[in-house]
Structure 1
């Protein structure tokens, strides 16, 4: 099945945006979630966890500081991958003036639904282009 990014909704938050291409709720039989996350320059998301799913981040472009568990923050950049075990707290902060682009997966899928409870969550229908406003 081909998924065109223009054919799926966009989630936006104060820190960036997400397009989920594969989710169990959108594709019958899908067992995982896959999407592209953009973290805006100088922004990041709050430390959080996914109790029932592991997460993998793959950096398409940009640079950031990554925290996983109680360990020290470490730099990530284009080509790096990060594995986050289920239930482990983590955060990502874009340290540059360029957007940070990530491919993100959840296994099993479904954790993306929790993002809808974020206070700064907005859902833009497929084809809509969100207007970016500086923080």
Structure 2
């Protein structure tokens, strides 16, 4: 199955945006989730976990700071991959002036559904362009 970015909604938050290309709820037979995440400059998300899914982060471009579990914070940059076991707390923060672009997977898929309850979520229809404004 082919999925174009214009064919899926955009989840926008105060820290960035996500497009989920493959999810068990959107692609018949899919067992994993795959999407592109953009973390805006100077933004990030709070430490959290996915109790029932492992996560893999691949850095397309940019640079950020990553935590996994109780380990020391470390730098991630273009070409790096990070594996986060199920249930392990983690966070990603962009401390640079450029956008941080990531490919994210969840195995098994479904952990992305938790973001639907985020208080700062704005859902943009497929094909719509999210408008960014500085607060």
Unaligned runs of 5+ in 2: none
Match in the other structure for 1:118: 118
1:6, 1:41 → 2: CA distance?
A: 24
CA apart distance, 1:14: 0.4
SS of 1:116 mapped into structure 2? helix
Match in the other structure for 1:10: 10
2:111, 2:24 → 1: CA distance?
A: 10
Could you give the per-residue CA deviations for residues 55-82 of structure 1, whole angstroms, max 9, x where no partner exists?
0000000000000001110000000000
Match in the other structure for 1:80: 80
CA apart distance, 1:46: 0.8
Could you state the TM-score of these two structures normalised by the residue count of structure 1? Answer: 0.99
Equivalence map 1:16-55=2 (5 Å): 16-55=16-55
1:7, 1:116 → 2: CA distance?
A: 18
1:102, 1:61 → 2: CA distance?
A: 7
Match in the other structure for 1:91: 91
CA apart distance, 1:16: 0.1
**Moved runs in structure 1, 4+ residues, more than 3 A?**
none
CA RMSD of aligned residues (A): 0.6
1:57, 1:67 → 2: CA distance?
A: 12
Aligned length in residues: 135
SS of 2:112 mapped into structure 1? helix
SS of 1:52 mapped into structure 2? coil
